Amino acid sequence: MKFGVSTFLWVSPFSNASFNLLSKVKEMGFDIIEIPVEDKDLIDWQRLKVMADELDLQLTISGAFGAERDISSDSPRIRKQGFNYIADCIRIAGQMNSPIFGGPLYAAVGKTRFVSEAQKAKEKDYCVAALKELGAIASDYGVELGVEPLNRFESDMINTADQALDLISEVAHSHVKIQLDTFHNNIEEKDIPATIRKLGKERLCHVQGNESDRGTPGTANVDWQGIKEALTDIDYQGAVVIETFGAVSEEIAKATCIWRPLANSSDELASEGLAFYKSLFNS
């Protein structure tokens, strides 16, 4: 099992000024650093790749979906912006040798409304049409798209793995799969290990292993032992990555409803979280 950590734990947005995090993450003992693309133009991607290669550190690429990046929006302009953003991130992921590009690809984070079934169906149709095209682009770059269910307080569209399965079954593309975040799953799934087994190796492409309070993994009530056993049972070959938030921006704080520190420090959360991962998964 390879273990990673998202730069969201230390900085938002990630930029050239944040490249020192690569050495920090490597020294802590992580295999992977996950880069959320908030503004692609803030990052010298070629230099980032060279640094990661020199450190023997794998890169994975994740999304940051604000209101202007929403492929299910009623606005054609916003849908196009969302499509172009995901397409750009796929190309970046391909260039960085990231096997995945994941996140709530279907809608903006924080988009929570009570809407009619007809409106839901229309938004889903927009999403399916876009993901069919984006799946083809992802295939060209050797990247898998991970559709991530979010909890009900952050999205009104895809909250459960079953809903994600329904969506990707309509998309019906081999490069459009599902990414799980155990923080969200702990709210919405009745049984996370059973969910993992339902998805299986063929449909689960990435795991963000986060605690129930988004704090240090292993310190709260997520069923980690059950998750380990389920991932072993399906012969999961992907990564497990800590994705939580340290010095959050105003936009991230509003989207994720994080109003207090989640640990004594970001470094402590990362190092203790990695120690827990290694103790659990390597035992």
Average pLDDT over every residue of 190-204: 98
Instruction: Identify any residues that bridge with 206 across adjacent strands, giving them in sequence order.
Output: 179
Q: Which residues contact 3 (CB under 8 A, 6 or more apart)?
A: 30, 31, 32, 239, 240, 241, 242, 274, 277, 278, 281
Domain 2-281 belongs to what architecture?
A: Alpha-Beta Barrel (3.20)
Q: What are phi and psi of 160, to 5 degrees?
A: -125, 160
pLDDT of residue 35 exceeding 80: yes
* pLDDT tens digit sequence for 124-173: 999 999 999 999 999 999 999 999 999 999 999 999 999 999 999 999 99
Average pLDDT, whole number, for the chain?
96
* pLDDT tens digit sequence for 250-278: 777 777 777 777 788 999 999 999 999 99
pLDDT at residue 204, as a whole number: 98
pLDDT at residue 61, as a whole number: 98
pLDDT at residue 248, as a whole number: 62
CA dihedral 112, 181, 174, 73 (to 10 degrees): 20
- Strands 58-63 and 100-103 come out as parallel
DSSP-derived secondary structure for 89-156: HHHHHHHTT-SEEEE-TTS-TTB-----HHHHHHHHHHHHHHHHHHHHHHHHHT-EEEE----TTTBS
The residue type found at 228 is K
pLDDT of residue 247 exceeding 70: no
